[in-house]
Amino acid sequence: MTTATLPLTQHGTRQAADRRAVRLWLYLVLLALFALFVVGGATRLTDSGLSITEWKPIHGVIPPLSEAEWQEELEKYRQIPEYQQINKGMSLDEFKTIFWWEWAHRFLARGVGFLFAVPLAFFWLTGRLERHLKPKLLGLLALGGLQGAVGWWMVASGLSERVDVSQYRLATHLTLAAIIFAAIMWVARGLAPHSAGPAERTVVRFAGVMAVLVLFQIYLGALVAGLDAGMAYNTWPLMDGAIVPTGLFVQSPSWVNLFENPKTVQFVHRLGAYIVLAAALWHLISAYRTAPGSTHARRAGVLFALICCQAVLGIMALVLVVPFGWALLHHAFAIVVLGFAVAHWRGAVGEYQSQAKP
């Protein structure tokens, strides 16, 4: 007997079980993506991203296994500008440290691809995927493949003329990672049974605005990381002795300052943080006015609290001149905020019912 010919009660029970299995799988993928996001941040903070100078999607799973292989990898690294201008004379042990960060990042990326593709095939072939899920999940798989290519495109920018990767490409790589994370969260959260029902239209719309604002702030943070802009002007709330410092648009054309002037990039990231915080407070107040005591209003409160925590982490990382621990916490918590913002938005829209409709 096929699913289509099952009695209604049995069909609803089977559908609910399938949705739960798919949802748990997607949450596991999100956990792996979070680990990948954190290791990627550590790779950037330790300047390890250029330690592997080749893209070997299959063979690259195996790290150097002998002294000769390690020397071969180090010799390849010695050919690029980062070694010649910044790390000249680096010992093999020092090289191994940065190599392992980059290798772990690539290994996790391959693992996430495997974790997504294999269960997807299983759920598809065993008829556990509803029709509307198939194109969404295929699209996510394609985005994952694109992200791998973008990652190499980013690394390649630092192998010939630059001593680091392009901040443009770094921001693209990080933002695409955040988009993939957000999209998986949206699909997974939509499969959860929910009794609160959809929220008022104003709450739904502003929840969506909050998710977009958080994503854009992550993009701005990636530009800061790409330029090491957080290493300068380490005071708060003043920046270079003023609320609005001078020298923000000294490069020509003016728009270039938004991407290539470290002072401007850091200032815009600060400004973005203030906007996100103010928007979250407004969303909280609006949600409590529109639907006082509702689940959606409480989630707006949690989102505001998370954004406040992220702001504190950012300030601490800044004033302490970007120490590894504080900077990595700030980086990692950004994806937590984004994930909750998207889940809140999806919840406000209203999840699918857990039982099949007659």
DSSP 67-98: HHHHHHHHHHHTTSHHHHHTSTT--HHHHHHH
Structure tokens, 249: 């648009």
Do 45 and 182 form a contact (C-beta atoms < 8 A)? Answer: no
Of the candidates 300, 356, 346, 353, the residue with the CA atom closest to the CA atom of residue 136: 346
Query: Does residue 200 register a pLDDT over 50?
Result: yes
Q: Name the least confident of 29-43, 55-69, 82-96, 216-230.
A: 55-69
Confidence (pLDDT) at 24: 97
113 Cβ contact list (under 8 Å, min separation 6): 144, 145, 148
In a domain, 32, yes or no: yes
Examine the domain organization and report whether 45 and 175 are in the same domain. yes
**Same domain flag for 27 and 117:** yes
Mean pLDDT of the chain: 92
Average pLDDT over residues 89-105: 96
Residue 2 lies in a domain: no
Give the pTM: 0.92
Domain boundary among 159, 193, 227: 193
Same domain, 164 and 33: yes
Residue 107, pLDDT > 50, answer yes
In a domain, 157, yes or no: yes
pLDDT tens string 72-87: 999 999 999 999 999 9
Instruction: Give the Cβ contact number of residue 264 at 10 Å.
Output: 23
The token pair that represents 54 in the structure block: 């080749």
Residue where a domain terminates, one of 193, 216, 250: 193
Same domain assignment for residues 81 and 134: yes
Model confidence at 353: pLDDT above 70: no
**Are 199 and 152 found together in one domain?**
no
The parent domain of residue 254 ranges over 194-351
pLDDT of residue 10: 61
How many domains does the chain fold into? 2
What is the DSSP secondary structure assignment for residue 161, as one 8-state letter?
A: T
CA pair distance 50, 84, nearest whole angstrom: 13
